[in-house]
Structure 1
């Protein structure tokens, strides 16, 4: 699980243009990217390498349409634990990190202790997941799930 960075780096206009372009299409060649952001190819390559090594670019991935691969049910799940000691919170995070259907896990405050974003095939798959992660976990006090009926917006870009 990713935690907030303890430090930030200073981004200039070229870095911002590169990041914005990559967030729209990371499949571009270095030459295409360089042309789009108006820098030379060697400069672009060096900048992308620095942004990657410094952790600004965490990874480059393909975004898969869930409904095209059988994951038709999205759920936002609130979890409240009985004991919120640091070790118990970490233990729960490690449990959900092993579950492929849990796409995101956030510690939140106030309210529940965690909010999970879950993607599964159908309601029986959600029930099986809930049994594995919540019903059999002694420290889970409360589970509240919201099931998506329509996704009106999905974005992965961060304003830079």
Structure 2
């Protein structure tokens, strides 16, 4: 998909603050309000903008333990990957899941309240799945960077 300069300016502004009013957005990108409204709708319809969300500080809502979890499956077939991904999609405390190459099959970003909550997740989710061969976890002790903006050339 080809984005023009106005689309790029709109995306850059919305990534900084998706709560902008259409009027404020139009002023920042130097376009009319109706044009901005139409372009934002198109970007949503085309799937360029996937969601509009609020980013919550996990430490302020009792979810202060972040784990980066490597998962290796016992059977590595397309069906096994799809089944694992389907199960992951339903687990609220797994925020991100990546199928990776060379090493584990998946890397997950998990956000839970504390270590007992993490252990409960491991027993409920990972050990309950017959196809999970290995779970390796890393616990964040400090987050030095967290960005949600995608670079738009």
TM-score under structure 2 length normalisation:
0.98
Q: How does 1:1-160 map to 2 (within 5 A)?
A: 9-160=1-152
Cα RMSD (Å): 0.6
Distance in 1 between the 2:111 and 2:83 partners?
22
The Cα shift of 1:135 comes to: 1.2
Cα distance in 2 for residues equivalent to 1:53 and 1:99: 27
Give the deviation of 1:60 after TM superposition: 0.2
Give the aligned partner of residue 5 of structure 1. Answer: none
User: What's the CA shift for 1:138?
Assistant: 1.2
Q: Matches of 2:88 and 2:45 in 1, distance apart?
A: 28
Looking at structure 2, the residues matched to 83 and 22 of structure 1 have their Cα atoms a distance apart, in angstroms, of 42
How many correspondences in the alignment? 152
Instruction: State the shift of 1:97 in Å.
Output: 1.0
Displacement over 4 Å in runs of 4+:
none
